[in-house]
Amino acid sequence: MLNADKLFENLFDSPKIISARLYAFAQNTLNNLIIANGSGANTDIIKELTDVNTILGTDLGVVDTSEAIKRGATLSNDQMLKSFSKAMSEEKPFIARALGGEGNPRFLEFYPNGLEEYSNPAKTDMPVLTNRINAAAIRYEKELGKPLFDKLVAFESQWTQSRDVQEKKKGSVADAKKVRDVHVTDVELVLTKIVHVVAAQAPGNVAHAAAIFDFSLLYPRANEKHTVIEGQLDFGDKKMISNRLFADKVEIVATNESDNSEFVIYLSDTPNGDPTTKAITVPFDQTILIDPATLGDPKHPFLIIKSTSTVNPSKYKIEIIG
Residues 309 and 165 reside in one and the same domain: no
Residues 5 and 44 reside in one and the same domain: yes
Tell me: pLDDT of 237 over 60: yes
Task: Assign residue 308 the CATH number of its domain.
Answer: 2.60.120.380
Residues 64 and 194 reside in one and the same domain: yes
pTM beyond 0.85: no
d(CA 188, CA 11): 7
Q: Which amino acid is at 195?
A: V
CB–CB of 83/75 below 8 Å? yes
Last residue of a domain, one of 219, 249, 271: 219
Total tally of structural domains belonging to the chain: 2
Q: What is the pLDDT of residue 157?
A: 81
Binned at pLDDT 50, 70 and 90, residue 59 comes out as low
- What is the side-by-side strand order in the sheet with 280-282? 238-243, 302-307, 263-268, 280-282
Binned at pLDDT 50, 70 and 90, residue 25 comes out as confident
**How far is C-alpha 144 from the geometric centre of its chain's CA atoms?**
33
Average pLDDT for 113-130:
85
Q: What is the pLDDT of residue 196?
A: 92
Tell me: pLDDT of 175 over 50: no
Residues 46 and 169 reside in one and the same domain: yes
Going from the C-alpha of 73 to that of each of 25, 70, 203, 209, 289, the distances in angstroms are: 25, 5, 43, 37, 21
Going from the C-alpha of 209 to that of each of 29, 196, 205, 213, the distances in angstroms are: 10, 10, 7, 6
Q: What is the pLDDT of residue 92?
A: 92
Residue 275 structural domain? 226-321
Last residue of a domain, one of 219, 235, 269: 219
Residues 26 and 105 reside in one and the same domain: yes
Residues 15 and 38 reside in one and the same domain: yes
Residues 210 and 272 reside in one and the same domain: no
Longest dimension (CA), the chain: 76
| Average pLDDT along the chain | 80
**How far is C-alpha 52 from the geometric centre of its chain's CA atoms?**
14
* pLDDT-wise least confident of 80-89, 169-178, 234-243: 169-178
Sign of CA dihedral 185, 186, 190, 191: negative
Average pLDDT for 288-296:
83
Q: Which amino acid is at 153?
A: V
Query: Of all residues in the chain, what percent carry a pLDDT higher than 70?
Result: 85
d(CA 79, CA 206): 52
Residues 294 and 200 reside in one and the same domain: no
Residues 49 and 136 reside in one and the same domain: yes
Average pLDDT for 258-267:
86
Nearest to 82 by CA among 190, 3, 158, 11: 158
Residues 245 and 99 reside in one and the same domain: no
Average pLDDT for 190-216:
90
Binned at pLDDT 50, 70 and 90, residue 1 comes out as low
Last residue of a domain, one of 204, 219, 234: 219
Comparing 285 with 107, the larger pLDDT belongs to 107
Instruction: Mark out the alpha helices in the chain (DSSP H runs).
Output: 4-8, 19-35, 43-59, 67-74, 77-90, 92-98, 105-108, 116-119, 126-139, 141-144, 146-166, 182-201, 206-210
Residues 102 and 148 reside in one and the same domain: yes
Tell me: pLDDT of 221 over 70: no
Average pLDDT for 143-172:
71
Q: What is the pLDDT of residue 77?
A: 63
Q: What is the pLDDT of residue 193?
A: 93
d(CA 317, CA 254): 6
Residues 208 and 308 reside in one and the same domain: no
